[in-house]
Amino acid sequence: DDGRATATSTSAKEMSALGSLQPVLEKAKEKCNGEGATCLTKNGLVLQSVGVVSQRPEFLTKVAQGCARLEPSMGSPVITFETTARTVTLMEDDDMVVAVSQKADD
């Protein structure tokens, strides 16, 4: 166990919705020509993931929540991190965080 949060503690209702998340995440990954896409709960638990977004995806939840608090009247922002290795885009919506990772342009 590497200490990362997993979907093992999600509710039965959340578990029944997992089947519908897989195709949505795959489409998001393909549309962005991405490395991966993931959906997390507001507590940082991974509900579903396709490919690799981050080695510690639970931190993405904290970033999204912190950014949303900067301007609460504006709604949930779309946050993009760019590095020399990849770009990660994330957004919090309806108590979930969705993130997509793309390889950096060569």
Buried b (16+ CB within 10 A) or exposed e, 36-53: bbbbbbeebbbbbbbeeb
- Which one-letter DSSP state was computed for residue 73? G
For 9-68, the pLDDT digits (tens) are: 444 455 445 567 888 888 888 887 788 999 999 888 988 888 888 888 888 999 998 998
**d(C-alpha 57, C-alpha 59), whole Å:** 5
Confidence of residue 7 (pLDDT cuts 50, 70, 90): very low
Contact criterion met (CB below 8 Å) for 29 and 103 = no
SS3 at position 106: coil
Coil, helix or strand for 104?
coil
**Residue 80: pLDDT band by 50, 70, 90 thresholds?**
very high
How crowded is residue 96: how many other Cβ atoms within 10 Å of its Cβ? Answer: 16
